[in-house]
Amino acid sequence: MSEAKEKLPREVAIVALIIVLGALPPMFDSTIVNVAVNSLAKVFSANLTVIQWVVTGYVLAMGIAVPFSGWILKKFDGKKIYMVSLGVFMLGSLFSGLAWNVQSLIIFRIFQGLAAGVLIPTITTLVIQLGGSNNIGKIMSLVSIPSVFGPIIGPIIGGLILQYLHWSWLFFINLPIGAIGLILLQWKLPKFEAEDKKAKLDWTGVILLAIMSGTLIYGVTQVIKADSRTAGIIYLAVGAISFLIYIFYAFKEKGKALIPLNMFKSHNFSASFISLFLAGFATNGPMLLFPMLFQNVKGLSVIMSAMWLIPQGVGMLLTRSWIG
């Protein structure tokens, strides 16, 4: 009996894996593009300050879109949200591969990031609803698969594409994976009815958090340059003020705010929030900086740079079994 209880139901596991398949394009996309930043700078004759927005714009857009996912999941059917956001991500991938200059590439990457910002939280929410509280440990170990294999396989795929194919395939590679995912999702994924079709979005909170995120990230990129340091400080100040205004607003509105402050009364939630925030520095920073270090400073090829990124992914793989 104990062994039976430990096993995840076969049907649930199959549907969960199909759901996770939709996470592969955004997870692979991030690591594939990171290793290609240096090459994209040469393709579009852009300096590092400009080309970094191919990555920064994507991450920023994803962060802005994440708060919308909770409201959207309450208001609409989860299956439709999943499939539409995956379809929009694929459309962004198509246009990114067809980009004619660095400005258009950055715009299409922002488009991708907005879709990914809805897609990834939706995946986690649907998988947890599917498995239920009794299977949350085992189901979350399945959700972690893309985040584990992304840092291992993504850079290698990116390196092989840059060496043997046109750079457009850095983005076109998402299309067949996404297409297979959409077909399987339509076939196997059950409906997830809306919890509250009358749910209202906290637009004040969205605007304040969007201003905060955008100005803080843009301020950091500008303050490090001597000729734009003053502008960078101004943007950082605007971001800090937006944050303080949101704190005051959320404290006043309590549970109606986009991110209610009372959630931080939970020690578990606060610890998880801080841990994930710090983990972002430890994982995302090196995934962008190391490829440029290996290629520009050490003089390694794209393939060799990708190979040197594998240990980080292997470390994540070794600890994945602990999640359950």
Q: Residue 312: which CATH number?
A: 1.20.1250.20
What pLDDT is stored for residue 3 in this prediction?
44
Identify whether 225 is part of a domain.
no
**Rounded to an integer, what is the distance from CA 188 to the centroid of its chain?**
25
Confidence of residue 75 (pLDDT cuts 50, 70, 90): confident
Amino acid at 1: M
The predicted-structure confidence for 6-32, as pLDDT tens digits, reads as follows: 566 777 777 777 888 877 888 788 788
How far is 101 from 300, CA to CA, in rounded Å? 26
Mean pLDDT, rounded, of the chain: 82
Confidence of residue 135 (pLDDT cuts 50, 70, 90): low
Confidence of residue 113 (pLDDT cuts 50, 70, 90): very high
* pTM check: above 0.85: no
Mean pLDDT of all residues in 195-212: 81
The predicted-structure confidence for 161-183, as pLDDT tens digits, reads as follows: 888 889 999 999 999 988 998 89
Mean pLDDT of all residues in 84-98: 94
Helix (H) or strand (E) run with residue 123 in it: helix 102-131
What pLDDT is stored for residue 234 in this prediction?
92
Domain extent for 20: 2-201+299-322
**Top-confidence residue, 100 or 135:** 100
Confidence of residue 44 (pLDDT cuts 50, 70, 90): very high
Identify whether 283 is part of a domain.
no
What pLDDT is stored for residue 277 in this prediction?
81
Query: What total of structural domains would you count in the chain?
Result: 1
Mean pLDDT of all residues in 143-154: 71
How far is 70 from 258, CA to CA, in rounded Å? 9
How far is 218 from 222, CA to CA, in rounded Å? 6
Put residue 202 in one of left, alpha, beta given phi > 0 → left and psi -120 to 50 → alpha.
beta
How far is 109 from 280, CA to CA, in rounded Å? 20
DSSP for residue 133: G
How far is 228 from 12, CA to CA, in rounded Å? 53
Identify whether 175 is part of a domain.
yes
Mean pLDDT of all residues in 79-93: 92
Identify whether 88 is part of a domain.
yes
Mean pLDDT of all residues in 243-257: 87
Confidence of residue 198 (pLDDT cuts 50, 70, 90): confident
Identify whether 157 is part of a domain.
yes
Q: Answer whether residue 324 shows pLDDT above 70.
A: no
**Top-confidence residue, 263 or 309:** 263
Identify whether 254 is part of a domain.
no
Residues 6+ apart with CB under 8 A from 28: 146, 150, 153, 154, 157, 173, 174, 177
What pLDDT is stored for residue 107 in this prediction?
94
* Angle separating helix axes 102-131 and 24-43, nearest 10 degrees: 170
Q: What count of residues does the chain have? A: 324
The predicted-structure confidence for 207-223, as pLDDT tens digits, reads as follows: 888 888 888 888 887 78
Identify whether 227 is part of a domain.
no
C-alpha distances (whole Å) from 296 to each of 30, 48, 249, 288, 304 are: 20, 11, 46, 13, 13
Identify whether 306 is part of a domain.
yes
Select the highest-mean-pLDDT range: 53-62, 170-179, 246-255, 283-292. Answer: 170-179
